[in-house]
Structures are given as structure tokens and as C-alpha cells.
Amino acid sequence: KTGVTRTGMIPEGQAVASPGIFSDELRGAGDPSAIVGVTFTFPKAWTPARGQNVDVRNIRTSDGAFLLALRAPDGAQSVRALPDAFFTRALFAPDGKFGQYGAVDDFRVLSSRVVERDGVPYATLDVRFSALSFNYNLVERRLLLSAVVVGDSVYMLAASAFATRFKTVSAQLRDVVESYRARPIRAARGAAAT
């Protein structure tokens, strides 16, 4: 469960503008009348998944990125107001990508900071964790996260790889999360656009 709801304004097959560039419109996770534009780049060897989720990956190596969207806590108008635990709870939720086969208890936030991109604060995290895979093997992964608050919603792009591959692909994963932008297109009904 990712919380992502695409508007359907951009047909599914056209959300990838060209190989390696994703661009689509999403509904607000808090108020679905809000519309947010999401863009990021990814390695051309990765394949976009079909369906409602925003998920791109290299099927052979298990490197990939996916988007999460959830309602921001009351009063949180910026990622500066959100603790690391907010992001790790969302990443490792029992009904999420990494928690669906069992609880993710073994994780460590290696670094956390807020960076400005186009004048907007984005939280960035580097996380090491172990999770059960679909065949119930425990696998260690490294994940880079970029998150931003838009309106009453938090949009998070997580790019990850097996820990054994991280050194090899860390530059690619960083490029993905650093390219990520989420911008308001239409404010929620009754709210002013920011």
C-alpha cells in the first residue's frame, strides 16, 4: 500500500515521457481534490510497473524506486517539522513494500538532513535495513529517501538496492532521489496554492 492515487489525466503508458524520465499527476493523500505533479529520472535499464503505484525497477538486480504518499500530520507544512520516525514508520509499515512479509525491526538511519531544491525543503535519509523477501529470506538493503510536504500531504520517493550492491549503484540511486520533485498543480478545494 503506497497511498498513491494517479489522476488519470496522463494515460498510464505516457507517465514515462521518455526512457528514464517519469512525470505524472497525483491526487493529494489528505485531500484528493488537490493535484500534485511528480517528476524524477531513473536509469534506462529500469522498467516502470503497471498500475496505480509509481514503481520503477531493474527486475534482474532488484534495484528500484517507488513513491509513497500520505497525509501530513496536522500542522506540518514542511519536512522540517517531521522526525525521522515519521518516514521510517511509513517505509516499514506492515502493509507496505518492505513490511508485507514481516515486521522490519532491524533498521538504522545512517544520515538525515534537509536540503533545499528550487527553494523547497526536502528531507533526505540514508537507511540500512533488513527485511523478509517474498520467499521469506532475510535480505539487507540500503535505501535513499527524498520527501517533501505539498499541501496536506507528504510525498516520498525511496530508491533502494541490496546492501551488497549499494557501493556499485549508490550514485544511480542518489541521482534518482536528487532529481525528484513534487509540486502543487491545483490546491485542495478551499486552500490557496503554495
Query: For residue range 141-190, what is the model confidence (pLDDT) as tens digits?
Result: 999 999 999 999 999 999 999 999 999 999 999 999 999 999 999 887 76
Q: What is the DSSP letter of 26?
A: E
Among 130, 113, 108, residue whose Cα is nearest residue 178: 113
Write the pLDDT tens digit of every residue in 96-131: 888 887 888 899 999 999 999 999 999 999 999 999
Say whether pTM exceeds 0.75: yes
Residue 61 C-alpha cell reads as 538486480
Q: How far is CA 105 from CA 12, 98, 136, in A?
A: 35, 11, 15
